[in-house]
Amino acid sequence: MIDRRAELGLWVGRLETILIERGVLNQDGEVAFNVGSQFPKDVEEALDGFIENPVELVGLLKICRDARDGRPLSPAVLMAAHLMTKEILLVLQEATGAGR
């Protein structure tokens, strides 16, 4: 059986690292001051169809962090976050070359 919480815990760390490298998040894991309401163009293109703006990303990151930290989540939220995070991580790794 897949431990979705454990996978999200791993994936959120990787996702945060990529987003920090791309200037979307600061070192504290918060949306960088210069990002505002739009992603950098390369990130926006990679996330097209998944996440529309940094506010949506913050929500997903919060769910992932909650899963990692053992906070209660409904099975539906956990499943959706697992699927979405996996897809976002894959496209960002592909776009940045981090998956190679």
pLDDT digit string (tens) for 4-48? 899 998 999 999 999 999 888 888 888 887 766 678 888 888 888
pLDDT digits (tens, 9 = 90+) for 37-95: 678 888 888 888 888 888 888 899 999 999 999 999 999 999 999 999 999 999 998 88
Amino acid in position 43: V
This prediction has a pTM of 0.84
Q: 4-21 and 54-68 are packed helices; what angle lies between their axes, rounded to 10 degrees? A: 140
Q: Are 92 and 43 in contact (CB under 8 A)?
A: yes
